[in-house]
Amino acid sequence: MNLGQFITAASPYARRVDETFWILNGLSATIVILLVALIVTFMFRYRRGSPAPRRELPELRKHEIEIGWTVATFFLFMFMFWWAGVELLNASSPPKHALEIHVVAKQWMFRFQQPSGAREINEVHVPVDTPVRMVMTSEDVIHDLFIPALRIKKDILPDRYTYLWFTADKTGVFHLTCAQFCGTNHSLMAGQMDIVSKQDYVRWTTAQPQGDDLAHQGDKLFHTVGCSGCHDSKGSTIHAPDLHNLYGHLVQLSDGRTVLADEAYLRDKILLPTRTLPAGYAPDMPSFRGVVTEAQIVALIAYLKSLSAGAGRQGAEP
């Protein structure tokens, strides 16, 4: 690993982070230099025994200077806070049709799964000039995905999803690592991100071992573990609503709350079905904790999301 891996900025967001960093350092250095210069000047100019004339205290003290620098510093701080805050908020809102890559972290590796179903360990291929959204969870302890060239990092937590997105604009091979101490071999939990052209990404995807994509894998699993017995409208026994058009829509709960059916909600319904009980349905769904793995949960959610493609109906519930 060379220093260039960390200095290189491979996305527009990374360059904005660098700009903010250098501006803040420049302002800090200017203030420090000014203060040191004033301190040194006053030390010599008004030291004991100096010829400086003795000044009597004025009868009326004026505070314009103190008020001025306090107000100026406050507004400068608020401007920098607003500037950095806008960048952070933009970085947390991915485009709607971003390429979605699932990440499962475990001691001591990252497992990436492409929409096509292709799996990678400690290495991930992404196309340049394409928004990429990473949906991440952990199988054991807290990890953290850090990609220095993109200036982004995010904790990966067990039993929940966290998200990271970026648009890389420079091709190359860049370092990624775990930035959260996660156990004995934490320092070995690292890998690489291959940012390639869109044509190379298509060729790489085509060259991977042929198999079903995530949605088709989830479809098969949906029937294998018995979900279709209750949720499939074609099933012989129906104890729960049809899951078409569920993902991305609002769901009314039995306690009166309304929640969005996103990845985290679907994962909870698979593992902790009674945590959020839908209005009008009994808590009959069993937990699938220990029945399906994290990778299988990813496939099931991909299948449920495929059922909502182009849908507009709201209110369905698993």
> Percent of the chain at pLDDT above 90?
30
Which residue has better confidence, 11 or 47?
Answer: 11
Instruction: Please give the average per-residue pLDDT across 281-285, as a whole number.
Output: 78
In this predicted structure, what is the pLDDT of residue 280? Answer: 75
DSSP the chain: --THHHH---SHHHHHHHHHHHHHHHHHHHHHHHHHHHHHHHHHHT-TT--PPP-PPPSS---HHHHHHHHHHHHHHHHHHHHHHHHHHHHT---TTPEEEEEEEETTEEEEE-TTS-EEESEEEEETTSEEEEEEEESSS-EEEEEGGGTEEEEE-BTS-EEEEEE--S-EEEEEEE-S--STTGGG-EEEEEEE-HHHHHHHHHHSPP---HHHHHHHHHHHTTTHHHH-TTSS---S---TT-TTSEEEBTTS-EEE--HHHHHHHHH-TTTSPBTT--S-PPP-BTTB-HHHHHHHHHHHHHTTTT--------
CA dist 285 and 295 (Å) reads: 21
In this predicted structure, what is the pLDDT of residue 234? Answer: 57
Q: How many residues does the chain have?
A: 318
Which residue has better confidence, 39 or 312?
Answer: 39
Q: Please, what is the average pLDDT of the chain?
A: 82
Band of pLDDT at residue 258, cut at 50, 70 and 90? confident
Other C-beta atoms closer than 10 Å to the C-beta of 192 total: 19
pLDDT digits (tens, 9 = 90+) for 117-141: 888 999 999 999 999 999 999 988 9
Q: What is the pTM of this model?
A: 0.72
Band of pLDDT at residue 283, cut at 50, 70 and 90? confident
Selection from 120, 103, 115 nearest residue 305 by Cα = 115
Task: Kindly list the structural domains of the chain, giving each domain's residue range(s) and its CATH number in brackets, ordered by start.
Answer: 1-211 (2.60.40.420), 214-306 (1.10.760.10)
In this predicted structure, what is the pLDDT of residue 316? Answer: 35
Q: Which residues share a beta bridge with 178?
A: 145
In this predicted structure, what is the pLDDT of residue 238? Answer: 55
pLDDT digits (tens, 9 = 90+) for 187-202: 899 999 999 999 999 9
In this predicted structure, what is the pLDDT of residue 239? Answer: 65
